[in-house]
Structure 1
Amino acid sequence: MRLHSLSLTLVCLLLSACTSDEATSLVERYASRTANAIEIDFDLALRPNSALYTQLPPRRERLAEVPEIRQGLLDLLDLRACDLMQLVSERNTSLGRVAGPSQRLIYELKILPRLQQCVVQLETDPERAELRGELLDFVQIKQSGFAALVFNATYNTDEMEQHFSFGAAPLQPNQIGYLTPLLEPFQRLLTVAELSKQESWPTPEFTDDLESSFEALYRADFGARWISSMALLTQTLEQTSAAIERRLEGRPICFNKRQNAKSKILWNVFMKFYVGELQPYIAQVEREGRQWSQLHMQILDSLETETVNKVYPLISTQKDSIIWGRYIRARDRHTAAWQNQLDQCGLRPGAANKS
């Protein structure tokens, strides 16, 4: 009987370990210890991400407008001299007609440079001046819509949308390098986005491997987990700041900045649970989050489309942005609250005597 009970206990422990959320446990422990140290009764009231942030608009509202080209126009042009018939025929297959955004992007990366080369090639053939003019018009239309096509292929797909979803578990403490697998895919997308500012360019060497970059985005969930981490930290910092500020409004822990037993407890909590546990997690989320946001901003800054404004507020690191802005305000308020509380007892990080 005792063996059966022990087995059940072990199973429960294993299950709880598998489903534990170390990040949430960390902030709850920090808030609880701080509440005890400042003698203010409060519990973290963590709300879902949707209560803090505005989600991405629906895909139909984010779609960038790609200039329409008369159906079959390319088929009417005699491109045999430029050896483009095979590439054009690929688009006309049943598979080509139902290709997803990533496949369409890959096709454009291949066809546009070839068309530009064809325009140059026809310059020396007076008999094909009319063909060259028609082809040049076609290329210019394609180029004018390339930025919109890149934006749609990048931000209006399942692969990227899931990184802006709400409800994922937060990043866990010491889970370093979670963003690393996405660095190369983002660098490729940035290279493609920057092409939209150039008049002519060669097909990137990685074009045939671009599908693997979208697959890497699909298999990862860094963005969604980072959003949850920011929501977790923002609420923790806001609510803990409010509790410390309430304490500062009441009877001081230290009279005339003279340290006592309560100030020693306060200092120990600050060093062990804030400096020792919460700050490293804050640094981790900030460091990878800034890298994540910078990657997006570089891509969006390269794409001159109005719809970038539908995404930008969620990744911008500016103080007025949706996620970073509220977090920065909470972080700065929290720092000031702790500084004021410690100063009340003559305590500041770096001071020689804390006893």
Structure 2
Amino acid sequence: MMDEYVERTARVLDQPYELSAIPATEPLPRRRDRVLEMPEVELGILDFLSLFGCELQVVAGERASILGRVMQPANRLRYEVRFIEAAEDCLPVMDDGELKDEVSEAVANKRESLPVAVWNATWGVEEVERLFTRTEGLYPLEPEPGTGNLAADLNTLNAMLSPLLEGETGTQLAGLGDIHQQWQAHQAPGQLIVTARMLITRLDDASDVIESRLKDRPLCLDGRPNNQSEVVQGMFFSVFIERVQPYLARVRRGRDDIIRPLAVLAERQRNVMPEAFEDWYARHLKVEGDDSLWAELDASQQRHIELWQQQLEECGLRPGA
């Protein structure tokens, strides 16, 4: 559609055109560059045995088991939360002062490292890679089933993690695994990013055509329409207004519904965000800023509309005039 739009714009304006190569988008940083090292804060075996009768013994025992040593990020986050809560419940009934100090220190250290566990359970999981795959083509012209569910899941995730990032461990994490599982069925974020890059390129191609015509001989003399200007106006309404603009609006809605919540998910964790993730985040998730792909798309769209307004105004055909 966009290739044809550039070609038809050039044809009705009687100008040469070129379909520029669409630059590749950068992949999500590799998992080894996204995952943060989680500090190990565990109780000694003798202290562990002395906690018999306290829930902390059960929680710490899970971590000490074979399966506990290879916990997936979501389960590790749940474990960290359970440890903090169980330890804080145990502290008031502890008689051993030395042990009490050790557990108190463990709680403090685990609270300090909790943002690392949250990061690994969101941006460090393998499932997030499916969201940002670049192999599933462009964002579809028509809505696809499930896209709304993805947007709802992202908002649910942000609401779930918000109190946790503020140090409140009472949040429920039962739905975290289901959200990760759903991510494997969605590719909209990656499609939106690839589409934004394509739209910038093709809008700029078409804008260059219009700009070259404006610098060339006037399409109309003394602001009076003619046969060619009527053809131009017809193409503008039938192609740009009726086909291209609705797609631009659809992509913008996708950005607001899907990319923005992902940006929030990353922004709230800036204090632990790996350096390797910073540039990718600023380029592909932030909707504002000099490096933002989305700000670049907004600028390309604005330039394109303004050039069309100038071109049509030259013939007294500017919409709304």
Q: State the TM-score, normalized to the length of structure 1.
A: 0.81
Contact 2:74–2:121 under 8 Å retained in 1: yes
Shift of 1:177: 5.9
Partner of 1:56: 28
Q: Which amino acid aligns with 1:139?
A: V
Q: Which amino acid aligns with 2:58?
A: Q
1:155 aligns with 2:123: yes
Shift of 1:178: 4.8
1:265 & 1:85 partners in 2: Cα distance? Answer: 79
Contact 1:166–1:224 under 8 Å retained in 2: yes
Partner of 1:31: 6
Shift of 1:203: 4.3
1:291 & 1:45 partners in 2: Cα distance? Answer: 29
**Percent same amino acid among aligned pairs?**
26
2:303 & 2:45 partners in 1: Cα distance? Answer: 60
RMSD of equivalent CA atoms: 2.3
Partner of 1:270: 236
Partner of 1:145: 113
Alignment counterpart, residue 295 of structure 1, candidates 261, 268, 275 = 261
SS in 2 for 1:137: helix
Partner of 2:302: 332
Between stretches 270-279 and 324-333, larger displacement belongs to 324-333
Shift of 1:196: 4.0
1:235 & 1:112 partners in 2: Cα distance? Answer: 51
Contact 1:185–1:214 under 8 Å retained in 2: no
Shift of 1:110: 3.0
- Report runs of 4+ in structure 1 exceeding 6 Å deviation: none
Shift of 1:212: 1.2
Between stretches 339-348 and 288-297, larger displacement belongs to 288-297
Partner of 1:237: 203
1:164 & 1:310 partners in 2: Cα distance? Answer: 15
Contact 1:113–1:200 under 8 Å retained in 2: no
1:93 aligns with 2:60: no
1:233 & 1:311 partners in 2: Cα distance? Answer: 19
1:195 aligns with 2:163: yes
Partner of 1:258: 224
Between stretches 177-186 and 293-302, larger displacement belongs to 177-186
Shift of 1:247: 0.9
1:312 aligns with 2:292: no
The gaps in structure 1 that reach 5 residues or longer are 1-25
1:275-311 deviation per Cα after TM superposition (whole angstroms, max 9, x unaligned): 1000000000011112222212322232231426255
Q: Which amino acid aligns with 1:344?
A: E
Q: 1:30 to 1:162 in 2, by over 3 A?
A: same
Between stretches 273-282 and 94-103, larger displacement belongs to 94-103
Shift of 1:46: 4.2
1:112-144 deviation per Cα after TM superposition (whole angstroms, max 9, x unaligned): 32223223x33xx5x233322211110111111
Q: 1:191 to 1:311 in 2, by over 3 A?
A: farther
Q: Which amino acid aligns with 2:107?
A: V
SS in 2 for 1:201: coil
1:245 & 1:266 partners in 2: Cα distance? Answer: 14
Shift of 1:349: 1.2
1:187 & 1:107 partners in 2: Cα distance? Answer: 23
Q: Which amino acid aligns with 1:323?
A: L
Partner of 1:80: 52
Partner of 1:15: none
Partner of 1:136: 104
1:20-63 deviation per Cα after TM superposition (whole angstroms, max 9, x unaligned): xxxxxx21222222121111132433425x2xx43333333333
1:81 & 1:198 partners in 2: Cα distance? Answer: 30
1:188 & 1:107 partners in 2: Cα distance? Answer: 21
Partner of 1:116: 88
1:129 & 1:82 partners in 2: Cα distance? Answer: 16
Contact 2:154–2:258 under 8 Å retained in 1: no
1:344 aligns with 2:319: no
Q: 1:311 to 1:117 in 2, by over 3 A?
A: farther
Between stretches 339-348 and 297-306, larger displacement belongs to 297-306
Alignment counterpart, residue 279 of structure 1, candidates 228, 233, 245 = 245
Contact 1:170–1:225 under 8 Å retained in 2: yes
1:228 & 1:178 partners in 2: Cα distance? Answer: 19
Alignment counterpart, residue 182 of structure 1, candidates 135, 139, 150 = 150
1:186 & 1:75 partners in 2: Cα distance? Answer: 43
2:160 & 2:113 partners in 1: Cα distance? Answer: 13
Matched positions, count: 316
Q: 1:73 to 1:246 in 2, by over 3 A?
A: farther
Q: Which amino acid aligns with 1:287?
A: R
1:347 & 1:79 partners in 2: Cα distance? Answer: 82
Alignment counterpart, residue 186 of structure 2, candidates 216, 220, 232 = 220
Q: 1:65 to 1:83 in 2, by over 3 A?
A: closer
Q: State the TM-score, normalized to the length of structure 2.
A: 0.89
Contact 2:81–2:169 under 8 Å retained in 1: no
Shift of 1:150: 1.1
SS in 2 for 1:219: coil
